[in-house]
Amino acid sequence: MEKDIKFFTNGKRIDGRAIDELRNIKIEVGVFKRADGSSYIEWGGNKIYCAVYGPREAYPRFLQKSDRAILKCRYNMASFAVEERKRPGPSRRGVEIGKVTQGALEPALLLENFPKCMVEVNIEVIQADAGTRCAGITAASVALANAGIPMKELVPACAAGKVDDKIVLDLCKEEDNYGQADLPLALLPRRNEFSLLQMDGDLSEEQLEEALDLGRKGCLEVYEIQKEALKKKYVKEDVSNE
Ligand code: CDP
């Protein structure tokens, strides 16, 4: 819903960014001892943990697939993560985000290597500030790599959107709540295909093309940050093992 907000001042956005600029992103790899893989991401004001378990025997057993592992993705937002306290426990929004996260990550994984098994991804949003599904997918993909799950590629994610009739990258909270459109995207960079594409709001065909181009560019920047985070983790460990 659009509100009477001044989205641009001297060409800069509410938080001072250019239209094609991401918020600050920091990713840490391997933050939990008891998970097989884990990560922590700070993306603007978002703070999100991800823990991956598996591959291990799928349970309950009727879920098992004889030719591949199943991927379970759970997205949870803490009550204190948002401005107005969120009711604890499962929500329709959480179920939807878990489902689209699974769809975004699955094509990147070699699940056929692990018949009858499951890989579990747990995403915990501790502080939310718009774009948590994209930040969650980005963190989860790094945590899956940290767990040693065989993958074809990493999956970076990032939203594009429209405010004041302009296409912008990585919506902040006000832009997300009061802008004209929000387009969360996840990219399979080596195949140059999107594995997540949702749209909330209105875009013309040309604006959609422009948003997809900008979103792809954003995802490729996020991809570099993911690779750097993994390198930092493993290069450091190699040095300390010497
Ligand atoms: O987080 P994401 O943009 O993927 O999903 P959304 O459903 O579009 O939510 C946008 C933002 O609204 C979240 O990141 C939160 O900051 C906020 N929100 C909230 O304040 N209370 C909720 N119950 C759900 C979301």
Task: Provide the mean pLDDT of the chain.
Answer: 96
**pLDDT at site 240:** 60
Confidence of residue 237 (pLDDT cuts 50, 70, 90): low
Q: Where are the domains of the chain?
A: 8-241
Distance from the alpha carbon of residue 170 to the mean position of ligand 1, in angstroms = 13
- Is the whole-model pTM more than 0.85? yes
Three-state DSSP class for residue 233: helix
Residue pair 159/178 in contact by the 8 Å Cβ criterion: no
* Distance from C-alpha of 90 to C-alpha of 73, rounded to nearest angstrom: 13
Q: Does residue 55 carry a pLDDT above 70?
A: yes
| Residue 181 CB–ligand 1 contact under 6 Å | no
Percent of the chain predicted with pLDDT > 70: 96
* Distance from C-alpha of 206 to C-alpha of 8, rounded to nearest angstrom: 22
- Reported as a single tens digit per residue, the pLDDT across 158-198 is 999 999 999 999 999 999 999 999 999 999 999 999 999 99
| Residue 47 CB–ligand 1 contact under 6 Å | no
Burial (CB count within 10 angstroms: exposed 0-12, middle 13-18, buried 19+), residue 44: buried
Residue pair 122/51 in contact by the 8 Å Cβ criterion: yes
Burial (CB count within 10 angstroms: exposed 0-12, middle 13-18, buried 19+), residue 88: exposed
| Residue 199 CB–ligand 1 contact under 6 Å | no
| Residue 83 CB–ligand 1 contact under 6 Å | yes
Distance from the alpha carbon of residue 235 to the mean position of ligand 1, in angstroms = 35
| Residue 93 CB–ligand 1 contact under 6 Å | yes
Highest CATH level, class, for 8-241: alpha beta
Number of H helices, E strands in the chain: 4, 12
* Distance from C-alpha of 232 to C-alpha of 73, rounded to nearest angstrom: 26
- Reported as a single tens digit per residue, the pLDDT across 102-161 is 999 999 999 999 999 999 999 999 999 999 999 999 999 999 999 999 999 999 999 999
* Distance from C-alpha of 222 to C-alpha of 220, rounded to nearest angstrom: 5
Starting at the edge strand found earlier in the chain, the sheet holding 70-77 runs 25-29, 37-43, 46-57, 117-127, 70-77
Q: Report which secondary-structure segment, H or E, holds 131.
A: none
Distance from the alpha carbon of residue 128 to the mean position of ligand 1, in angstroms = 7
Residue pair 210/167 in contact by the 8 Å Cβ criterion: yes
Confidence of residue 4 (pLDDT cuts 50, 70, 90): confident
Tell me which of 129, 132, 170 to substitute to probe ligand 1's pocket, judged by most ligand atoms within 8 Å of the beta carbon: 132
R_g of the chain computed on alpha carbons: 18
| Residue 170 CB–ligand 1 contact under 6 Å | no
Instruction: Tell me the Ramachandran region of residue 76: left when phi exceeds 0, alpha when psi lies from -120 to 50, beta otherwise.
Output: beta
Three-state DSSP class for residue 237: helix
Q: Which residue owns the Cα nearest ligand 1 atom 7?
A: 93
In Å, how far are 124, 138, 215 from 44, measured between CA atoms? 16, 14, 17
